[in-house]
A and B are shown apart, each in its own frame.
Chain A
Amino acid sequence: MATAVISTLDPKSRAAARGMSDIAIRNLFIVPTILFLIVFNIFPLLYSLGYSFTDFRASTNAPANFVGLQNYRELLNDPYIWNNFVVTAKYVIVSVVGQVIVGFGTAMLLNRDIPFKGLITTLLLLPMMLSMAVVGLFWKLLYDPSWGVINWALGLGKFQWLGDPDMALYAVAITDIWMWAPFVMLLSLAGLSAVPKHLYEAAAIDRAGPLYTFFRITLPLVAPILMIAIIFRTMEAFKTFDLAYVLSTQPSTEVISIRLYKMAFQEWQTGRSCALAYIVLIMVLAITNIYVKYLNKVKER
């Protein structure tokens, strides 16, 4: 349409002559997204912040009464809620440590002359792309004490994986490790392959031992990317819901998201659950903040 207009090199007159100004385009491109996120993420959160100070129950028609900080006070003094946080912390530690050991270990092995490396890496990444709820569900059959392949393969007889309250959390974490160790592997591999080869050659000339090389060369150079993987997985494990909910009904696997879900959608303690949601939200935002700092750090390199 306007292509025929002779262009001048003065940007202001050019913009005025043809089409929209850059500022108008910038706003047109950015503002709808920001508005969309405000309407569908921030506004609901303000809505639930309001409810968190009430005794509202979505299952009844009774009007919500303002109760001030009572919900927050009660939640923070509730030993059961604290126990949910302890369960969550245990889950985060077991599953993230497991993922780092398995993922980083596999990356170390893959960072060599391995035939069909590309194909193997893609195959290893498959579990993390699959739906946690759907594939996680199938682990119920794998863990089954009578017909499970795992007990048969390991010769464990009728070992109770999900049936034993002490074991169930570890069983869920093992499934999580299976799904997400590849994520740590993917990022570690990127870090490992970026370590300059001449550093290893120099270390070899200096007759540095393998341990020295690992702790003084490999680890420090991979650390920033590894940290991204660890923080991200920590955050995801802290929020975990799908796997634990699908695999187990044990109280010993009731992580904080499951407690929140039950409080909101099964017990219909809407006001109280909004308060708990806020406590969880603040913790997640704190981790997000750290995560973004590390993301930007890696980006700058």
Chain B
Amino acid sequence: MAAVQTSGERALNRLAIVAVLVITMIFLAPIYWIVATSFKPRNLATTIPPTVVFTPEISPFVKLMTKRSQLREQPTPEEYAAAPWWERMVFDGGEKVVRDGKDQVQWSAYPSRFLNSLIIAVTSTVLAVGMGTFTAYGFSRFKVKGEGDLLFFILSTRMLPPVVVAIPMFLMYRIVGLTDTHIGLIILYTAFNLSFSVWLMKGFIDEIPKEYEEAALVDGYTRMQAFFKIVLPEAATGIAATAVFCFITAWNEYAFALMMTNRRAQTAPPFIPSQVGSGLPDWTVIAAGTFLFLLPVAFFTFLLRNHLLRGMSFGAIRK
């Protein structure tokens, strides 16, 4: 009887489809606006009514990557003609590219902050997932005294507010010279992701039948060999999903990075907001920086789509 729909039900369903489409559009609008703004000339970024149709240009990305200063006087036609295409874009915006004494173009701070984010996120992910997988196996296969309490302890470290942990960590880092270093942030992010990785990986390993390893043990494998040759390949999907979650968390993290770094090891999340000072910021450049920063996460979200539920519930809800 469920297959037979009355006309009323069909109308209701159509209404639901329209509502879902509207909601999806509203939810995606801010992201669309970031992408659109990152391809606009500066004068079209803040117009009323908003500029929707425009010729996209990549000048925001050129400006994002280079160090610029205000043009005091217009470049001569010869200068303008001699400049490469990307430098002309900066001229068009009323600015010029800063060069050092050897006439080398100066990069902005953005690429180095982006690289910092990459180094710190990748390293801490490898460490957290590596340690987490071993520990999850330990909890999954062996009897551990006070297992529930230990697992609660592990999870509770993840729930600590960053500011609460950051105050003593800052004082301790100051003593050992780890403030504003990559290692300092890597340690914090590894600790933060480790508990998540243990919980999620435990769920994945619990699903691998014990019989696989037992058969291997009977065949003469050691426990270690069984772990590396039987369990790890079986858990590959889970490890990949956990790694992507850890990467995204470390990549997006803001509070620790704000408090622990200021220059050398600063990551992109505290850097991008610091570019919005007082006055009227160049939103096209901020949008360009945001867009590049969001790209990897958007890509990974798509890869991860079937594991999101599991990851977001620390492995409690499986599908």
Contact = CB atoms under 8 A, between A and B. Distances in A.
Interface of A: 2-7, 9, 14-15, 18-20, 22-23, 25-26, 28-30, 32-34, 36-37, 40-42, 44-45, 47-48, 51, 58, 106, 109-110, 112-115, 118, 120-127, 129-135, 137-142, 144, 146-147, 149, 152, 178, 182-183, 186-187, 190, 197, 201, 204, 225, 228, 235, 239, 241-242, 246, 257, 260-261, 264-265, 270, 273-274, 277-278, 280-281, 284-285, 287-289, 291-292, 295-296, 298-299
Interface in B275-317: 276, 283, 286-287, 290, 293-294, 297-298, 300-302, 305, 308-309, 312-314, 316-317
B279 to A, nearest CB: 13
Contact of A126 (B28, B135, B162, B317): B28
A6 B220 contact: yes
B64 interface: no
Nearest to A32: B131
Interface string B134-156: 11011101101000001011111
B215 to A, nearest CB: 11
A277 B273 contact: no
A40 B20 CA distance: 45
Contacts of A274: 167-168
Contacts of B131: 32-33, 36
B80 interface: no
A284 B160 contact: yes
A137 B48 contact: no
A291 B151 CA distance: 13
A282 B113 CA distance: 35
Nearest to A240: B161
B222 A204 contact: no
Given A47-B168, A134-B273, A299-B316, 10 more contacts: A19-B223, A29-B134, A58-B171, A122-B305, A130-B31, A190-B309, A242-B254, A265-B170, A288-B156, A295-B316
A281 B30 CA distance: 34
Contact of A197 (B2, B167, B319): B2
Nearest to A144: B46
Interface stretch (B70-78, B81-89, B100-108, B189-197): B189-197
Max chain A C-beta neighbours (<10 A), residue from B45, B142, B155? B142
Contacts of B1: 201, 204
A285 B156 CA distance: 7
Contacts of B217: 7, 14
Contact of A130 (B157, B191, B294): B294
Contact of B19 (A109, A138, A183, A264): A109
Interface of B: 1-2, 13, 16-17, 19-20, 23-24, 27-31, 33-34, 37, 45-50, 131-132, 134-135, 137-139, 141-142, 144, 150, 152-157, 159-172, 174, 187-188, 190-191, 194-195, 198, 217-225, 227, 248, 251-255, 259, 268-270, 272-273, 276, 283, 286-287, 290, 293-294, 297-298, 300-302, 305, 308-309, 312-314, 316-317, 319
Given A48-B168, A277-B164, A190 B223 contact: no
A178 B27 contact: yes
B283 A141 contact: yes
B290 A142 contact: no
Contacts of A284: 159-161, 164
A34 B195 CA distance: 10
Contacts of B157: 37, 41-42
Given A110-B20, A246-B273, A295-B314, A30 B144 contact: yes
A81 to B, nearest CB: 14
Q: Would you list the 6 A-B pairs with minimal beta carbon distance, nearest first? A: A19-B222, A29-B138, A133-B254, A131-B252, A44-B168, A147-B46
B251 A131 contact: yes
A169 to B, nearest CB: 19
Contacts of A109: 16, 19-20, 23
Contacts of A235: 159
Contacts of A34: 150, 153-154
Contacts of B172: 44, 47
Contacts of A228: 313, 316-317
A298 B317 contact: yes
14 contacts: A37-B191, A45-B165, A47-B172, A122-B305, A123-B24, A131-B252, A131-B254, A133-B273, A142-B30, A147-B45, A246-B273, A257-B163, A277-B163, A291-B159
B23 A106 contact: yes
Contacts of B159: 235, 284-285, 287-288, 291
B40 to A, nearest CB: 12
A113 to B, nearest CB: 6
A87 B40 CA distance: 38
A67 to B, nearest CB: 17
A34 B144 CA distance: 13
